Amino acid sequence: MIWYPYEQMKLMKAPYKIINAEGVYLYTPETKLIDSVSSWWSVIHGYHNPAITQAIKDQADKFSHVMLGGLTHDPVEKLAAKLKEWLPGDLDYSFFSDSGSVAVEVALKMALQFYVNQGDLNRTKILSLTHAYHGDTFKTMEAGDDPDYHFILEVYGKNENVIHIPTEIPALEKAFEKYHSKLNCFIVEPLLQGAGGMRMYDISFLERARELCDKYGVLLIFDEVATGFGRTGYRFVADVVLPDIIVLGKALTGGHIGHAVTVANHKVYNGFYSDNPEKALMHGPTFMGNALACSAALASIKLFEEGDYLTKIAHIESIAKRELSDLSDERIKEIRIMGGCACIEVYDPSTLDGYQEFAYKRGVFARPFLSYLYSMVPYIISDDELIQIYDVMKSWFRR
């Protein structure tokens, strides 16, 4: 029996059974659906991409996996080299793991130990954003601010080590003024807070954060698990404001197989590089650097590089803006659009009850949550398919 994610199993309706997936389409036994959420935002090149599938097959013909403890192999070495060349600044040291949550855990552990390794035991606090989402493991739940987790974390009492602030410069400045010598890092989903409600904010906030982190020696972590690979319209937000650590997942493999990476700059890496074995980073997921996943990631990055994706994403954004410009309804609080993400926020979550079935009957798979109806489409989507997604959204409000 499967225990499904984020579901009250007693109340859950039967999931749609997928028997095939190709391009932007999911196939059920009776119909085909445009996937408007790219399997939790990961399948940027569409399903069953021939180049990625071939890369996985070619590697599987050699070997699927060997551990990185004491061993190495071509796909992981090539991927680390590619990321070093491809990512901005001196983000050069790749630590692989099997999911975005674990990769964020690694980033948080790196930030804490970076100071502990220097004998600074006071920097125990993490600065984070309200409405943040960084994953479902314990430390990522704490760094995040997802109301779904509050009641279980409250069992531990108040967590003194995480400070949440809104995406407003005065709040940021105040937090640094008060806590700067206690902070090891400031972790953010840059520009676009995904699971917290597709909240969008200005780059000036991140520019100021970079200045304050530099001034007070605090590490800046960009969790680009969701925003990376073009979702905001930038390739990475890190291309515009450079963090000390970047976390990538989801689209890293084009969504074809689970994998993630925490990439550190020279300063962070050098904080661990020592003759003292105790200063090593004590982490090592069994499937880190999985050979199939690294091969998929290399193929996915090649597609991204060769496919003029930023132009495609700008086009997707312009169509979303055009198509949703004539949508207004008293139940709608705000419509937000950035890069490959569009979100309609409603006042009352019950406004969206039944939307998934409504969209299913009109050939679209959607998964609204709370008050948010959104699209995070594969970048290979055609104009007509995109328009179909927004037509379904509009007809929901106009019925």
> Which residues are known to be catalytic?
6, 133, 223, 250
The neighbouring-strand residues paired with 375 are 342
CB 45 within 8 A of CB 300: yes
One residue of 79, 165, 195, 263 binding ligand PLP per CB under 6 A = 195
Q: Which stretch binds ligand PLP (CB under 6 A): 57-65, 223-231, 282-290, 349-357?
A: 223-231
The neighbouring-strand residues paired with 96 are 261
Q: Which stretch binds ligand PLP (CB under 6 A): 2-10, 127-135, 321-329, 376-384?
A: 127-135
What does residue 322 show for φ and ψ, rounded to 5 degrees? -65, -50
* CA distances for 85 relative to 80, 90, 91, angstroms: 9, 9, 9
Under 8 Å CB-to-CB from 64, ≥6 apart: which residues? 290, 291, 292
Helix axes 50-62, 291-306, angle to 10 degrees: 150
Helix axes 74-86, 291-306, angle to 10 degrees: 40
d(CA 279, CA 338): 41
Tell me which residues in 34-73 interact with ligand PLP (CB under 6 A): 40
Instruction: Check binding of 133 to ligand PLP (CB under 6 A).
Output: yes
One residue of 80, 104, 112, 392 binding ligand PLP per CB under 6 A = 104
Q: Which stretch binds ligand PLP (CB under 6 A): 112-120, 131-139, 146-154, 346-354?
A: 131-139
* Best CA proximity match to 95, nearest among 221, 184, 214, 236: 221
- Beta carbon of residue 259, minimum distance to ligand PLP (angstroms, whole number): 9
* CA distances for 72 relative to 69, 77, 82, 294, angstroms: 8, 7, 16, 12
- Beta carbon of residue 100, minimum distance to ligand PLP (angstroms, whole number): 2
- Beta carbon of residue 191, minimum distance to ligand PLP (angstroms, whole number): 11
Nearer to ligand PLP, 196 or 271 (CB): 196
- Beta carbon of residue 299, minimum distance to ligand PLP (angstroms, whole number): 19
Q: Which stretch binds ligand PLP (CB under 6 A): 86-94, 128-136, 202-210, 299-307?
A: 128-136
Instruction: Check binding of 194 to ligand PLP (CB under 6 A).
Output: yes
Instruction: Check binding of 129 to ligand PLP (CB under 6 A).
Output: no
d(CA 102, CA 261): 9
Structure tokens at 187: 């972790």
Structure tokens at 362: 């009109």
Tell me which residues in 233-252 interact with ligand PLP (CB under 6 A): 249
Give 58-71 as a DSSP string.
HHHHH-S---SSS-
Instruction: Check binding of 101 to ligand PLP (CB under 6 A).
Output: yes
One residue of 145, 223, 317, 385 binding ligand PLP per CB under 6 A = 223
- Beta carbon of residue 6, minimum distance to ligand PLP (angstroms, whole number): 11
Site residues (CB under 6 A) for ligand PLP? 40, 99-101, 104, 133-135, 189, 194-195, 223, 225-226, 249
